[in-house]
Amino acid sequence: MSEFVHLHVHSEFSLLDGANRIKDLPVRAKELGMNAIAITDHGVMYGVIDFYKACKKEGIKPIIGCEVYVAPRSRFDKDGQQDKEYNHLILLAKDNQGYKNLSKLVSIGFLEGYYYKPRIDLEVLEKYHEGLIALSACLAGSINQAILANDMPKAESIAKWFKNVFKDDYYLELQNNGIKEQVLVNQKLVEIGRKLDIPLVATNDAHYLKKEDAHNHEILLCIQTGKRMSDEDRMRFDTDELYIKSPEEMSDYFSNLPDAIENTVKIAEKCNVEFEFGHTILPNYEVPEGYATHYDYLRKLCEDGIKNRYGENPSKEILDRMEFEISVIKKMGYVDYFLIVWDFIHYAKSHGIPVGPGRGSGAGSIVAYAIEITDIDPIKYNLLFERFLNPERISMPDFDVDFCYERRQEVIDYVGEKYGKDHVSQIITFGTMSARMVIRDVGRVLDYPYAQTDKLAKMIPNEIHITIKKAMEQNRELRELYEDDEEIRNILNISMALEGMPRQASTHACGIVITKDPVDTYVPLYVRDRKYLNTIYNDNTRRTRIIENGLFRIKNAYSNIRCNKNGKRIKRNRCRI
């Protein structure tokens, strides 16, 4: 292990705040001679899996963490300014149990504690602290805020609480960030640490990769807050020190506190989260009484379905094909998968919800055709089952299922009722800063005239996956502007540095996850319509907040108005978990 490890790092998934691209972090750590690095995004764990994979690829040890928001009182208190304030806290997972608890805490922050930010409180922190290491965080940490308020008794009281809960896994976090208030806080934290026997740890709250990236990060903050660089009241850090510093830089700064540097390595050695990929965990499908196994039930459905599709005396070819397929399905362990998909499609069809006939390789399965997952006869059209499932190429089967858009929520609700609402979730997706979009954003932030910014953006071809670099290769005029005009070159350079970074989270158009255990056992949950969670509306207003089993569902009774064939307007409710 290297002589220093960064334990407080914000990636691009601290949306429009962190400017560290996931793929660059382990590469930079390796360049600087470090063999471990952490990810601690603000209140979320969006980038954890990509970060883990990127680190493993580079031979760097990934440390999984999050900088959570802690409510000043209870997470359920949401009363004006006093609860709008919150404190930061760094949590790092020591092991897989710690990862599960961290996922649980992040989920609770959205599902129960959301008020401007996804907040947890001391109650749930104490309940789910097992397997976690806590660091006292940046100047926004509760102890640091008490120090800045000149309330040392309160600062010591908070430190004692955390030490009592986390024992040897609680550290007072010293930072080398170039902010003048931090110097005072560091001094006081050292005093508290020595007095209460709490170890110290050095971090740098890294928001960007290199020192020269500080200006681009300021631009990013302006994009986030809707400000311009010329605005006096814009959010700013007043430092260019929040980058991935070398072990030498950190060691030199904390030369009088070598234990704070050494503890970064000790913490890294404690953290050993390991993810397994490629292992399928299917939900538990309950078969009706009278069937000894799930296979017996699938076989019965299939035999009845074959007769329904092909008559009472199907040909030997059909029966042989059925036997072959069902044996492969059993051998590969996908009996439950077929039953789960059959069940919700059967529900949809029996309730008059239109379902597509089937797309993709799944249409090649006679079992799927027999039990009415698909409606395309693979025998008639000579479709191959091996394209869908093949024992020599182990991969999860994939049925492309189309439901009526206006009634698909009924199917989602049915699945939620059957497996438990905390076992079902839609999938998150991220909008990124496209080439045209980022140019317009950067031009606005730099006070470049709108008409000229718009003209510059429109020089980017309207193509999927186009980048500014590719556009300059294709567009001679754009390339010449870049070479000859210093102001445009500056705009485009900044734009290229920020291009492709995630801008906002949204809900995937069609993906649904059904899990064996509650979803937050595997991954943290995020509430898509979070802007509505701060206000409760009554039944006579446009929006109503509903709480079911701890999960928020938002109804907007006037979203997506449609008309029927007679031209009469139809109100359609649209809910998302």
- Tens-place pLDDT, residues 466-508: 999 999 999 999 999 999 999 999 999 999 999 999 999 988 8
Structure tokens at 130: 């097992």
| The one-letter amino acid at 261 | I
pLDDT tier for residue 529 given thresholds of 50, 70 and 90: low
pLDDT in tens, 97-120: 999 999 999 999 999 999 999 999
Question: How many angstroms separate the CA atoms of 42 and 50, rounded?
Answer: 16
Instruction: Give the three-class secondary structure for 157.
Output: helix
Dihedral (Cα; 511, 516, 517, 519), 10-degree rounding: 0
Q: Which of 156, 151, 208 is nearest to 16 (CA)?
A: 208
Q: What is the pLDDT of residue 357?
A: 92
Burial of 422 (0-12, 13-18, 19+ CB in 10 A): buried
Q: Which of 283, 559, 562, 541 is nearest to 576 (CA)?
A: 559
Describe the crossing of helices 450-457 and 486-498 by its angle, rounded to 10 degrees: 60
Q: In the chain, pLDDT over 90 holds for what percent of residues?
A: 79
Question: How many angstroms separate the CA atoms of 224 and 501, rounded?
Answer: 12
Question: How many angstroms separate the CA atoms of 25 and 9, rounded?
Answer: 9
Q: What is the pLDDT of residue 194?
A: 97
Given its phi and psi angles, is residue 513 left (phi above 0), alpha (psi -120 to 50 degrees) or beta?
Answer: beta
What is the widest separation between alpha-carbon atoms in the chain? 88
Question: How many angstroms separate the CA atoms of 386 and 431, rounded?
Answer: 36
Count, residues in the chain: 577
| The one-letter amino acid at 561 | I
Q: Taking the mean position of all CA atoms in its chain, how far away is CA 52?
A: 13
DSSP-derived secondary structure letter, 520: G
Strand partners, 506: 429
385 close to 362: Cβ distance less than 8 angstroms:
no
Question: How many angstroms separate the CA atoms of 46 and 141, rounded?
Answer: 22
In degrees and rounded to multiples of 5, residue 151 shows phi and psi of -115, 75
Structure tokens at 381: 């059209």
Burial of 444 (0-12, 13-18, 19+ CB in 10 A): middle
Question: How many angstroms separate the CA atoms of 105 and 113, rounded?
Answer: 10
Cα angle for residues 203, 204, 205 (degrees, 5° grid): 105
Structure tokens at 5: 């490890």
pLDDT tier for residue 527 given thresholds of 50, 70 and 90: confident
Which segments of 302-354 are extended strands (E)?
Answer: none
Question: How many angstroms separate the CA atoms of 473 and 461, rounded?
Answer: 11
| The one-letter amino acid at 545 | R
pLDDT tier for residue 300 given thresholds of 50, 70 and 90: very high
129 close to 166: Cβ distance less than 8 angstroms:
yes
Question: How many angstroms separate the CA atoms of 514 and 185, rounded?
Answer: 47
Please, which residues have CB within 8 angstroms of residue 183's CB and are 6 or more apart in sequence?
none
Please, which residues have CB within 8 angstroms of residue 326's CB and are 6 or more apart in sequence?
298, 299, 302, 367
pLDDT in tens, 235-266: 888 899 999 999 999 999 999 999 999 999 99
Structure tokens at 228: 């311009």
Q: What is the pLDDT of residue 539?
A: 33
Is this structure's pTM higher than 0.75?
A: yes
pLDDT in tens, 33-70: 999 999 999 999 999 999 999 999 999 999 999 999 99
Question: How many angstroms separate the CA atoms of 139 and 179, rounded?
Answer: 9
Q: Point out the least confidently predicted range of 205-219, 512-526, 563-577.
A: 563-577
Q: What is the pLDDT of residue 126?
A: 97
Domains of the chain with bracketed CATH: 24-270 (3.20.20.140), 294-419 (no CATH), 434-500 (1.10.10.1600), 505-570 (no CATH)
Burial of 82 (0-12, 13-18, 19+ CB in 10 A): exposed
Question: How many angstroms separate the CA atoms of 319 and 417, rounded?
Answer: 36
Q: What is the mean pLDDT of residues 397-425?
A: 91
Position 287 pLDDT exceeds 90: yes
**Residue 313, CA distances (Å) to 299, 302, 308, 318 in order:** 17, 14, 10, 10
DSSP-derived secondary structure letter, 35: S
Strand partners, 6: 37
Q: Which of 501, 472, 473, 464 is nearest to 489 (CA)?
A: 472
